[in-house]
Amino acid sequence: MQGIVPAPDALVGKRLDVAISKMMGISRSAASNLIDTDQVRIVGRSSGKTDKAAKLNHFDMIEFDLVEHEEAPEPIDNDMAIVYEDEDIVVVDKPVGVAAHASVGWTGPTVLGSLLARGVHITDYGATGRQGIVSRLDVGTSGLMLVCKSELAYKEMRRQFSEHEVVKTYHAVVQGNLEQDRATIEAPIGRDKVSDFRFTVTPAGKEAITHWDVLERFGEATYVKVNLETGRTHQIRVHFSSIGHPLIGDPMYGANPKLSEITGLDRQWLHAMKLEFKHPRTKVWTVVESNTPRDLRHALETLENRHAARLNA
């Protein structure tokens, strides 16, 4: 991509990296990289590379000189387990490190790409690159994820998810000792103004409701079962962080790195354990369950052993 375009009026006064991020629909870090490598610059602003923090002025012209890269084929996760499949839906047990679908800046495997590469038919319904997907899990969250194979399933399951008819049960481990045995967090969630890849509790956000029950207490951490009434991005992570109990292994939302190191975690302790829904064709109530992955089991055992040692000291 090459060319020169005027600075959009709506972005005048914004930092160049922020403006490029919005203009190209890419992350701010990706935009910063384009500026740092001199693939994007403000015409006539300086003799050298343009500062990514430079503010856009009226009548500025932005020059694009993007280097074309041949895209490498998407890696495939052949080990991702399929735990339920019929003519309408497929439910996978998504490993950590696998995205739901392709996105700007992501070069790892995806659920959709891996299913298609393995010959699983997926409906064409849905946005390009996201066809068949009616709900998602974060890259750093493992567990059950449903993808639609038929048009009928896509329409019906999209409705069930949007109307909160699907019962989604997660297991999580949060820092600290939760005071109550069960409670509900009801707080709106929106994008963080400081970091566009983070989310936060904000009055301007969308409704978000999280229910939790304590499964086991370790003193320094609490093992909980979580049911979501809504499905906002990073909802569980944001809600528990907002009450002072971030998920273990989740530094983005305030986790203690020392506890993450002790438990051997390099991702948040969060797993989608169970999905319950009305089958889109037969209308039969369907329940699909998962098992706790090895790295999360190891972290649990470590916490249990540390708690037992303290009690016996």
Provide the annotated active-site residues. Answer: 138
How far apart (Å, rounded) are the C-alpha atoms in residues 216 and 252?
24
CB 92 within 8 A of CB 82: yes
Report the distance separating Cα 169 and Cα 275, nearest Å: 7
Q: Are 158 and 149 in contact (CB under 8 A)?
A: no
Q: What does the alpha-carbon distance between residue 132 and residue 282 come to, in Å, rounded to a whole number? A: 19
Q: Please count the other Cβ atoms lying within 10 Å of the Cβ belonging to residue 162.
A: 12
CA–CA separation, 94 and 144 (whole Å) = 6
Ramachandran bin of 16, using left for φ above 0, alpha for ψ from -120 to 50, beta for the remaining angles: alpha
Tokens 């969250």 — which residue? 141
Tokens of 169: 């049960």
DSSP-H helix ranges across 119-275: 151-162, 235-242, 257-263
Assign 83 to helix, strand or coil.
strand
Beta strand 270-278 pairing with 142-148 = parallel
